[in-house]
Structure formats: C-alpha cells, structure tokens
C-alpha cells in the first residue's frame, strides 16, 4: 500500500481489496497444489532439487486442498478445477431491483478454498461475508456448483 488512507478503505466484506487485486487471476489452493505437483514431477525427471520454500508451499497447499484424488490423473483434476472456476467467474444473478450480481475473483478463490460438500449457506456467508449481497437461493446455487465438482473429483 502506498498511502495510509488506502489501507483504511480496504474491507474484504465490502470487496474493497485495493488496487493490487484489480484485474488479477487468483488460484485456489487446489489449483496451486496441482501446479506444484506437476512441476515437482518435472524436477524429479530432470534430476533437479526443490528448495525449502517450494516444499513448504507444496506442504501448505496439500494440507488445505480439499479437492484432491491421487487416483485421478492431474489433467482431469485441472479440467474440473478450471471448469469450476469458470462457472463461478461467469456466475451472474439478477436481484429483484434489476441489479446484476457477480462473484469477485477473491470470492471465487475463497469459495474454492473454504467450502466443503456439507457447507451451508450460513457458513458460506460467515466465511465470506461479501456473499451476503446475494439472495440465499443464489448462494445455494453456487454451493451446488462446488459440491458437484468436489464429488466428481473425489469419487
């Protein structure tokens, strides 16, 4: 942050995230875990050593990655995650007063990271307060997208 005023205006619940979060592509833990695993496999075939930061990042993303299945090929998981991210990124819902709502990239990544197959609408709002601007039915629709992807990945 360049100025103190900008830091005071930031508020995740209101999606005031600062300029550094404008027009960026955010990856979920599951997406990062897949990228790291593929690059680790490449390093092994090239007989390259992975540094400590790399291994710690890999350990962190693996620990918090809820969308994984060691029996499925990486490409299949990548496609499922990309499809989910695309579905969430393009999700639109119109309010009763005609306002079109869409998910911020922060919300997309947070949803992919925090939501499990048994998450309820209230839990999603508690974890990601900015979702409260959506009607409950829309949040349930979002959760169903995530649940169905998670089930396809883990089964």
Rounded Cα–Cα distance for residues 137 and 123 (Å)? 14
* Confidence band for 141, pLDDT divided at 50, 70 and 90: very high
Residue 30, Cβ neighbours under 10 Å: how many? 27
Q: Which helix (H) or strand (E) holds 46?
A: none
Q: What is the per-residue pLDDT for 56?
A: 93
**Are the C-beta atoms of 133 and 113 separated by less than 8 Å?**
no
Q: What is the per-residue pLDDT for 8?
A: 58
Provide mean pLDDT across the span 21-46. Answer: 85
Instruction: Say which residues have a Cβ less than 8 Å from residue 70's Cβ, sequence separation at least 6.
Output: none
Q: Is the pLDDT of residue 18 over 60?
A: yes
**Which residue reads 């993303």 in tokens?**
61
Residues in the chain: 155
**Are the C-beta atoms of 141 and 115 separated by less than 8 Å?**
no
Its pTM surpasses 0.85 = no
Provide mean pLDDT across the span 94-118. Answer: 87
């Amino acid at each position: 942050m360049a100025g103190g005023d900008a830091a005071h205006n930031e508020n995740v619940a209101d999606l005031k995230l600062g300029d550094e979060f404008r027009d960026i592509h955010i990856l979920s833990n599951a997406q990062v875990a897949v990228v790291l695993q593929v690059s680790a496999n490449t390093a092994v075939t090239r007989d390259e050593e992975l540094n400590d930061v790399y291994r710690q990042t890999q350990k962190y993303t693996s620990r918090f990655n809820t969308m994984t299945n060691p029996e499925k090929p990486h490409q299949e998981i990548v496609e499922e995650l990309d499809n989910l991210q695309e579905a969430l990124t393009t999700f639109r819902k119109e309010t009763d007063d005609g306002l079109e709502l869409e998910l911020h990239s922060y919300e997309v990544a947070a949803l992919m990271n925090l939501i499990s197959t048994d998450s309820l609408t209230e839990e999603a709002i508690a974890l990601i307060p900015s979702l409260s601007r959506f009607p409950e039915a829309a949040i349930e629709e979002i959760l169903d997208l995530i649940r169905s992807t998670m089930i396809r990945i883990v089964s």
